[in-house]
Amino acid sequence: MTATTETRAQAVLIPPGQRRGFWAGLRTIVRRAPLSAFWGVVAALIIAMAAAAPATAPYPPLKSDFRAMTKPPSEKHWMGTDQIGRDTLSRVIYGSQTSLTVALGAVLFGTTVGALWGLACGYFGGRFDMASQRVIEFLQSFPDLILAMAIAMALGGGVVTVIVAIAITRIPFGGRVIRSVVLSLKELQYVEAARGIGAGHARMMFRHILPQCVAPYLILATTHLGVAIVIEASLGFLGVGIPPPTPTWGNMLSDALNAGLVPPWWLVLFPGAAITLTVLAFNLLGDGIRDLLDPRLRGSV
């Protein structure tokens, strides 16, 4: 028992001597995992495109051109136009802004709350831990999307409510993983030593244990980004996401279906392809980060 906890915790420990500069680290990544590095670049490009949406999008996302309604892709509109003549390419680009904001916000918020909760559970143990584990179990008894739907619907649509709704579905994951990491860290000698010299609870948790949770936290956060993007798109598709006319990928697909019996193919193809490419990039980047930071967690998060 002790042997296994030790090896597990050691995998998480990062000796201070091995910390390198940012650029040196980056070079190691490119050399050791070129594929992950490539997808990292794709992810970075998507983020850059989203951040610079006013510059990268050829048209304003809400501007209708009534002379070009439901037009297939052409030189003027690379991805065609929708039923009221809005440029699909511009809407896809602006949609990435919304999707990424929501996904990043939800994952940061949810994983952080979960991680802090897991830290407290693992550190204090006892009745608090027991009760918390039950609550987390209840949260996990809901399929992710259904829980997010219910919360988003109850809170009413909007960027913040969608972030909260998705974040709540991410809490159990952070809680579970960080708790188990803390449980194994707690037994290590350096933590015992800190307790021995009289460190208080806050100092023990935040100064000695928390820094070692950074690697699993990062791995969790990146692997859940993709899930968050898909949930956001699904919420938009089901009409409980960010209300129109704000362009999001889910809203665009929903609009395409609402418009008539047969949606034009370019209104379906491009927003969905954007979702797929983004999720693919983040998932593969996440895999790479996981392998790099902690090969032992392979497949477990």
Partner 1 sequence: MYSYIARRLVFGALTVIGVSIMVFVIMRILPGDPLVAIFGPEGYTKLTDAQRDNYMRELGLSDPLWVQYLSWVHDIVRGEFGHSFFRSESVAEMILRRGPLTAEIALFSVILSWIVGIPVAIVSALKPNTAADSVVRFLSILFLAVPGFWVGMLIVLALLFWFGYRAPMAGASLFSDPLINLQLVIGPAIVLGLGQAAYIARMGRSSLLEVIREDYVRTARAKGLNSRWVIAMHALPNALLPVITLSGVLMGLVLAGSIPVERAFGTPGLGYSMFTAVYERDVFVMQNLVFLYSVVFVLLNILIDLSIAFLDPRIRLR
Q: What is the dihedral of CA 174, 177, 181, 184, to 10 degrees?
A: 140
CB proximity list for 217: less than 8 A, separation 6 or greater:
111, 115, 174, 178
Binds partner 1 by CB under 8 A, chosen from 122, 174, 175, 226: 226
Residue number, 96 or 283, with CB nearest to partner 1: 283
Binds partner 1 by CB under 8 A, chosen from 26, 54, 74, 137: 137
For the bound state, the minimum distance from the C-beta of residue 161 to partner 1, rounded and expressed in Å, comes to 10
Residue number, 40 or 186, with CB nearest to partner 1: 40
Residue number, 15 or 156, with CB nearest to partner 1: 156
- Stretch of 11-19, 76-84, 101-109, 252-260 contacting partner 1, by CB under 8 A: 252-260
Residue number, 76 or 134, with CB nearest to partner 1: 134
Which residues in the 151-170 window bind partner 1 by CB under 8 A?
151, 153-156
Residue number, 137 or 192, with CB nearest to partner 1: 137
240 counts as binding partner 1 under rule CB under 8 A: yes
- Total binding residues toward partner 1, as defined by CB under 8 A: 46
Binds partner 1 by CB under 8 A, chosen from 263, 285, 289, 294: 263
CA–CA dist 99, 231 (Å, integer): 10
Peptide bond into 245 cis (omega under 30): yes
Binds partner 1 by CB under 8 A, chosen from 37, 49, 51, 150: 150
132 counts as binding partner 1 under rule CB under 8 A: no
279 counts as binding partner 1 under rule CB under 8 A: yes
Q: Which residues bind partner 1 (CB under 8 A)?
A: 134-135, 137-139, 141-147, 149-151, 153-156, 226, 230, 233-234, 237-240, 253, 256-257, 262-263, 265, 268-269, 271-272, 275-276, 279-280, 283-284, 287, 298-299
